[in-house]
């Protein structure tokens, strides 16, 4: 996996708390250049319907391989991009590429949804929804095939603006998901007022639910409450077959995790789908 190579460099960035330090500014200049020079890439991680095993979509995850520092994880550079405003062109780039790939897959006979992560800042962009509608038209992708993932925390930074933005996107037919649910300070009483279709239970509750009773209880309770409130539920961080079985017994809707597949580059998606349908990619699903 690419993840290891950049770790030591990343530690250096994490220790560096000044958002305007020389090093960060350099990194952001390089990220800006990376967007224009296509040094960024997207990886895709399958999402599978629990009841049928059908692949219903892919989450799009941004990858940046720096010429000197190697792999830099998104958890490191996304926050910096948010602080510098670079997140706007970055999200636009991710959306454009994701929809192009969605279209390409559809042309090859595979109709799936694309889940794209967006930031709080994007929800405050003036023409965000308009730009997306334009991209959907351009690529010939139906709005219901695009899912935007936004964290609960992101919706709370400027709640009124976020609510308005979500409403516009929702009304345009785009699907909306609350990401990392359970890790922020919000609650279901807050979430239930948001115009969203699905809730993604944070992987910290899912990863060990096959051996940790409390985690299993939290996941089961969350699924039941979300269903009662009319949301679909996605479990992320599925790492074992036991967890798949548990999620099935809890009537979870969709699952995603290393047990099914790690995020992969676009040219691996076709072969993976082939193996998956063949039954050789993931035992027991
Ligand atoms: P996220 O949206 O919650 O994405 C899921 C993360 O969990 C991904 O990490 C994925 O590789 C990882 N993951 C998936 N299955 C498993 C599993 O079974 N076990 C474990 N331990 N991890 C699993 P990644 O790719 O490093 O992304 C981290 C975060 O960076 C994402 O969390 C998201 O918040 C952010 N991010 C990634 N791409 C983008 C992007 O294009 N735009 C924005 N705004 N944020 C992004
Ligand atoms: Mg996500
Ligand atoms: Mg998440
Ligand atoms: Mg996250």
Using the structure block, give the residue that is written with the tokens 């670079």: 86
List the residue whose alpha carbon is closest to atom 46 of ligand 1: 117
Cα distance between residue 232 and residue 253, in whole Å: 6
pLDDT of residue 195: 95
Burial zone of 148 (CB within 10 Å; 0-12 exposed, 13-18 middle, 19+ buried): buried
DSSP conformation class of 144: G
What are phi and psi for residue 160, nearest 5 degrees? -65, -45
pLDDT of residue 172: 97
Please report the atom of ligand 1 found closest to the CA of residue 62. Answer: 38
Query: Is the CB of residue 243 below 6 angstroms from any atom belonging to ligand 1?
Result: no
Report whether 6 contacts 66 (CB < 8 A).
Answer: yes
List the residue whose alpha carbon is closest to atom 12 of ligand 1: 237
Q: From ligand 1's centre to the CA of 61, what distance in Å? A: 6
Q: From ligand 1's centre to the CA of 141, what distance in Å? A: 24
Using the structure block, give the residue that is written with the tokens 């925390």: 153
Segment-wise mean pLDDT, segments of 10 residues, the chain, 285 residues: 43 56 83 86 97 96 91 92 92 97 97 97 93 98 98 88 94 97 81 93 98 98 96 98 98 98 97 90 74
Query: Is the CB of residue 180 below 6 angstroms from any atom belonging to ligand 1?
Result: yes
pLDDT of residue 260: 97
CB atoms within 5 A of ion ligand 4 belong to 180
Length of the chain: 285
Tokens of 38: 């296509």
pLDDT of residue 1: 41
CB atoms within 5 A of ion ligand 2 belong to 117, 149, 179
Cα distance between residue 141 and residue 116, in whole Å: 14
Mention every residue, 6+ apart, whose C-beta is less than 8 A from residue 107: none
Pairing of strands 175-181, 146-151: parallel
Mutation choice for ligand 1 from 151, 203, 219, CB with most ligand atoms inside 8 A = 203
Cα distance between residue 243 and residue 224, in whole Å: 17
List the residue whose alpha carbon is closest to atom 41 of ligand 1: 62
Residues pairing with 198 in the sheet: 177, 232
pLDDT of residue 105: 97
H/E element, 148: strand 146-151
pLDDT of residue 35: 85
pLDDT of residue 189: 81
Query: Is the CB of residue 75 below 6 angstroms from any atom belonging to ligand 1?
Result: yes
């Amino acid at each position: 996996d690419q993840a290891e190579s950049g770790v030591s460099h990343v530690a250096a960035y994490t220790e560096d708390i000044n958002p305007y330090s020389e090093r960060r500014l350099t990194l952001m200049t390089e990220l800006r250049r990376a967007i224009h020079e296509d040094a960024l890439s997207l990886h895709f991680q399958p999402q599978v319907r629990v009841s049928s095993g059908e692949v219903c979509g892919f989450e799009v995850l941004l990858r940046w391989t720096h010429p000197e520092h190697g792999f830099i994880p998104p958890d490191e550079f996304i926050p910096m991009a948010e602080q510098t405003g670079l997140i706007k062109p970055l999200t636009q780039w991710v959306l454009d590429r994701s929809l192009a790939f969605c279209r390409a897959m559809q042309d090859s006979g595979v109709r799936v949804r694309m889940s794209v992560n967006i930031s709080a800042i994007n929800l405050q962009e003036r023409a965000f929804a308009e730009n997306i509608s334009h991209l959907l038209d351009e690529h010939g992708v139906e709005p219901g095939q695009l899912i935007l993932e936004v964290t609960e925390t992101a919706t709370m930074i400027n709640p009124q603006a976020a609510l308005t933005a979500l409403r516009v996107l929702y009304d345009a037919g785009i699907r909306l998901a609350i990401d990392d649910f359970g890790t922020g300070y919000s609650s279901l009483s807050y979430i239930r007022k948001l115009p969203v279709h699905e809730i993604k239970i944070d992987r910290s509750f899912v990863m060990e639910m096959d051996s940790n009773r409390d985690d299993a209880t939290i996941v089961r309770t969350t699924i039941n409450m979300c269903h009662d409130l009319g949301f679909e539920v996605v479990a992320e961080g599925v790492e074992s077959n036991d967890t798949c079985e548990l999620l099935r017994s809890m009537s979870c809707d969709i699952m995603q995790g290393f047990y099914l597949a790690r995020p992969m580059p676009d040219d691996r998606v076709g072969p993976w789908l082939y193996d998956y349908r063949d039954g050789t990619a993931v035992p027991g699903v």
